[in-house]
Amino acid sequence: EVQLVESGGGLVQPGGSLRLSCAASGFSFSTYWMHWVRQTPGKGLVWVSRINSDGSSTYYADSVKGRFTISRDNAKNTLYLRMNSLRAEDTAIYYCVREGSGWYSFDYWGQGTLVTVSS
Amino acid sequence: QSVLTQPPSVSGAPGQRITISCTGSSSNLGAGYDVHWYQQLPGTAPKLLIYANNNRPSGVPDRLSGSKSGTSASLAITGLQAEDEADYYCQSYDTSLSGSVFGGGTKLTVL
């Protein structure tokens, strides 16, 4: 069974940093591209970042470029999102997502971890 | 303002057929990029319903179907059931933004 379990969310002050982790199991993690997608409570979905299977290529939404860094450790079956210079508008539930058969389709989602940026 | 436009809400009676539209532009759906559809029940993560315009993952019933033409796409649900009440999102890739984009979501109410 495919499982994606996020951790690392919490309350952080504006300008602060946080690192999210996503533990993957039930599939060959090292062969899949992975993403982070966020959702402001009560609102829509926003794509954040993408990483290829070996971690050599990364992509970001303009809203987080230069502040967030996606990475992965295939030996540990873990995906990361390092978030720096956090702003109030980064407050959201962050989902770890696996890319499926369709290009940029998201076939498995974690349960999400809540990040709150507030003083 | 989402890049992909969906109606905020649709509704239908049990057993009826409904459709949810998704309108894009020449930089996403019109450029030939596939559309994918997700269902989100309250308090849960989204679930993939349709990928690459009209393909259903294993376990998704065939009363759900997708189509795409030009800059528009739609999700159809036939034989509406109470358990279909949820939020639905379309998603694609946008070449101008160099990333994925979502619709604003449509809340389906089963009357």
Q: List per-residue pLDDT tens for chain B, 111 residues long.
A: 899 999 999 999 999 999 999 999 999 999 999 999 999 999 999 999 999 999 999 999 999 999 999 999 999 999 999 999 999 999 999 999 999 999 999 999 999
Question: A112 touching B, CB under 8 A?
Answer: yes
CA gap B67, B75 in Å, rounded? 7
Average of per-residue pLDDT across A40-64: 94
Q: For position B1, what pLDDT does the model report?
A: 82
Looking at residue B63, its amino acid is R
Q: What does pLDDT average to over chain B?
A: 96
Q: Could you say which DSSP state residue A29 is in? A: G
Q: What does pLDDT average to over chain A?
A: 96
CB contact under 8 A, A106 and B38: yes
pLDDT band per the 50, 70, 90 thresholds, residue A8: very high
Q: Among partner residues A102, A106, A111, which is closest to B34 by beta-carbon distance?
A: A102
Q: Among partner residues A45, A61, A109, which is closest to B99 by beta-carbon distance?
A: A61
| H or E, element range at A62 | none
pLDDT at A41 over 80: no
pLDDT at A38 over 90: yes
Chain A interface test: which of B4, B29, B48 (most A C-beta within 10 Å) = B48
Question: A107 touching B, CB under 8 A?
Answer: yes
Which CA distances in Å does A79 have to A94, B60, B77?
A: 12, 28, 35
